[in-house]
Amino acid sequence: MSVLFALLISFDVANARGPGLPNVMVLATGGTIAGSGASSTTVVGYTAATVGIETLLNAVPELKTVANVKGEQVFQIASENMNNDYWLKLAKRVNTLLAQDDVDGIVITHGTDTIEETSYFLDLVVKSKKPVVVVGAMRPSTAISADGPINLFNAVILAGSDEAVGKGVLVALNDQINAARDVTKNNTSTADTFRTPELGFLGYMQGNKPYFYRQSTRRHTADSEFDVSSLDVLPQVDIVYGYANMNRVAIDAFVAAGAKGIVHAGVGDGSLARPAVEPALDEARKKGVVIVRSSRVGNGIVARNGEAKDDEHDFVVSDTLNPQKARILLMLALTKTTDTKEIQRMFFTY
């Protein structure tokens, strides 16, 4: 090999990696972080998913000081419109990139409405220990004190950090680091909306550095048994919400529409209303629909054989997963089995 050719190769590699900086891919999907409003004081009533990835990255030139950043617009939506097709496209792209030696971590910019769902889905299907950080904003990019730029800056630092390796998918906004499994949106509009109510943050971003104080005890990412690489569709799983005076109409409708699983977001400890709801779920179960008892309460363990005789009904309990996350785990579980004992193991594992 000529000396010139060898020099060209070494320059290219050095240029690709930068002087010791991590290589971080930023995958954009839309949301408020990419939103724009009529004026700098418009913080509600703006339009999400209008600003492209290059504009987002150019708005934070400081990114170049902490990582070699490349951007890609995977899709551009307000995240209330998220669906399984987008999830499969995003998950496959993430896994392809993480398998590359020249990618050290990934940031996903995302709408805040379903960040907690996308991040948990990825937590279960990403096949790497490399950091994946999902980030959003509560104020549009055009607003005074827009939180997107600082959130993006922190997310890129976190995704390029050694500390985040092996921690599972992370959600980082407002200087706080949450685990994908437990984080949920707690306020419709404030910048500190993302919380893990009782189990707590994993840590903080402070002074351009991550500080971790705990990590999830549940299986995720590289240790997960779920693989969507060969899937183009996911089983239909729906949620019915529990409330006083509830009837069975929604359950019967989901069964008639072909749901393979139903998550019941029950009152209290996942309680089932009688005589309306419990018989409807029993009939659904007898037709092969897998039933998971969750709770609308938001915290605590839904105890097996507590408010319902799950062994007799052949129901599954969600452990501490809220209904929207229980739906995701049940959907992925159904890609592997309909055995309720196996599915219950999965809910006690992930």
- Is 32 tagged catalytic? yes
**Minimum distance between the CB of residue 48 and ligand DAS, rounded to whole angstroms?**
4
Stretch of 75-83, 147-155, 166-174, 302-310 contacting ligand DAS, by CB under 6 A: 75-83
Stretch of 76-84, 144-152, 163-171, 280-288 contacting ligand DAS, by CB under 6 A: 76-84
**Minimum distance between the CB of residue 185 and ligand DAS, rounded to whole angstroms?**
9
CB 330 within 8 A of CB 290: yes
Collapsing DSSP states into helix, strand and coil, what is residue 283?
helix
Is 216 flagged in the annotation as binding?
no
Distance between CA atoms of 309 and 116, rounded to whole angstroms? 30
**Minimum distance between the CB of residue 189 and ligand DAS, rounded to whole angstroms?**
9
Nearer to ligand DAS, 146 or 292 (CB): 146
Q: Which residue in 290, 275, 267, 282 sits closest to 344, CA to CA?
A: 290
Q: Which residue in 177, 119, 181, 118 sits closest to 350, CA to CA?
A: 181
Give 148's DSSP letter.
Answer: H
**Looking at 22, 24, 27, 31, which residue binds ligand DAS (CB under 6 A)?**
31
Nearer to ligand DAS, 39 or 247 (CB): 39
Neighbours of 128 (CB within 10 A): 18
Residue 78 touches ligand DAS, criterion: CB under 6 A: yes
Q: Output the residue with the shortest Cβ distance to ligand DAS.
A: 111
Residue 146 touches ligand DAS, criterion: CB under 6 A: no
- Is 112 tagged catalytic? yes
Give 156's DSSP letter.
Answer: H
Residue 80 touches ligand DAS, criterion: CB under 6 A: yes
Is 79 flagged in the annotation as binding?
yes
CB 156 within 8 A of CB 24: yes
**Minimum distance between the CB of residue 82 and ligand DAS, rounded to whole angstroms?**
8
Binding mask 85-104 for ligand DAS (x = CB under 6 A): --------------------
Q: Is the dihedral of CA 233, 93, 192, 188 positive or negative?
A: negative
Reduce the secondary structure of 157-213 to three states and give it as a string.
HHHCCCCCCCCCCEEEECCEEEECCCCEECCCCCCCCEECCCCCCCEEEECCEEEEC
Is 42 flagged in the annotation as binding?
no
Q: What residues line the site for ligand DAS (CB under 6 A)?
A: 31-32, 48, 78-80, 111-113, 136
Q: Which residues are annotated as a binding site?
A: 79, 112-113
